[in-house]
């Protein structure tokens, strides 16, 4: 019986509305991509901590390359093209043009999964205002491309918050909360300088690694088998 081409096309466009890691790949293979990306994020965190804040390009783009392979195996070519376009847009030197191009890419991604797109927008804003490094943003972006799950996004946020609080409280004591509030207020005036980001050295790669491990443990011991995409 011939397939309805229109129905197949709509099904492809709606792929982000379901857990696409079950779409063409076996669940175990999709998990392998996720674990491999997390392993590279751990290597990046170790490099950042013990070698240099300048992470080599092959390590920097390794999680994104793994995410690209996962998207290809799932047949999500449009999502892959949009993801690469989003990365290229961040290189545009003109501030207005760069921000407009990035927002357009994220809006198009939002046609598939608006919740994941909003989280990607949040990650990009952290990077745009130099609160995040490039490796931090790529790590989060790659994990969400492999596993577009808002539960993962929640645990990444939890890891980022916990990591920031631990370092901030150890460094500044209770005055950390005042400084954090002032930093957020200053975002309306001007972006944070790259020099300040390097100087303060927030452990975001470690925090991202922590959040992803918490997500895996939650799936393994609480949800027993993985959560559904919202």
CB atoms inside a 10 Å sphere around CB 217: 11
At residue 13, the pLDDT reads 42
Q: In degrees rounded to 5, what are phi and psi of residue 151? A: -65, -40
CB 106 within 8 A of CB 121: yes
At residue 194, the pLDDT reads 53
* Residues 13-60: tens digit of each pLDDT: 444 444 444 445 555 677 889 999 999 999 998 988 787 777 888 888
CA atoms of 100 and 115, how far apart (whole Å): 20
At residue 167, the pLDDT reads 63
User: Is residue 5 packed enough to be buried (19+ CB in 10 Å), middle (13-18) or exposed (0-12)?
Assistant: exposed
Domain ranges for the chain: 21-223
At residue 67, the pLDDT reads 93
Instruction: Give the residue ranges of the chain where pLDDT is below 50.
Output: 1-23, 187-193, 225-230
Task: Give the C-alpha distances (Å, rounded to integers) separating 21 from 7, 10, 143, 192.
Answer: 21, 18, 12, 37
At residue 40, the pLDDT reads 95
At residue 175, the pLDDT reads 59
Task: Give the C-alpha distances (Å, rounded to integers) separating 129 from 12, 34, 189.
Answer: 35, 28, 11
Query: pTM for the full model?
Result: 0.76
At residue 114, the pLDDT reads 84
At residue 131, the pLDDT reads 75
Place of tokens 């790529």: 138
CB 151 within 8 A of CB 140: no
């Amino acid at each position: 019986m011939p397939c309805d081409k229109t129905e197949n096309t709509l099904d492809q466009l709606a792929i982000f509305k379901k857990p696409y890691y079950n779409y063409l790949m076996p669940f175990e293979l999709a998990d392998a991509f996720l674990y491999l990306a997390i392993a590279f994020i751990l290597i990046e965190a170790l490099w950042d901590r013990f070698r240099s804040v300048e992470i080599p390009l092959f390590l920097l783009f390794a999680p994104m390359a793994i995410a690209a392979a996962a998207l290809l195996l799932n047949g999500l070519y449009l999502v892959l093209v949009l993801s690469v376009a989003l990365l290229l847009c961040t290189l545009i030197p003109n501030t207005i043009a760069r921000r407009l191009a990035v927002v357009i890419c994220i809006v198009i991604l939002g046609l598939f999964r608006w919740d994941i797109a909003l989280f990607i927008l949040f990650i990009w804003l952290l990077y745009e205002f130099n609160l995040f490094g490039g490796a931090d943003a790529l790590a989060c972006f790659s994990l969400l491309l492999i596993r577009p799950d808002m539960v993962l996004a929640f645990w990444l946020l939890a890891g980022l918050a916990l990591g920031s609080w631990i370092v901030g409280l150890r460094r500044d004591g209770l005055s950390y909360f005042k400084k954090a509030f002032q930093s957020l207020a200053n975002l309306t005036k001007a972006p944070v300088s790259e020099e300040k980001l390097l100087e303060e050295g927030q452990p975001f790669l470690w925090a991202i690694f922590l959040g992803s491990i918490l997500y895996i443990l939650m799936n393994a011991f609480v949800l027993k088998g993985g959560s559904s995409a919202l």
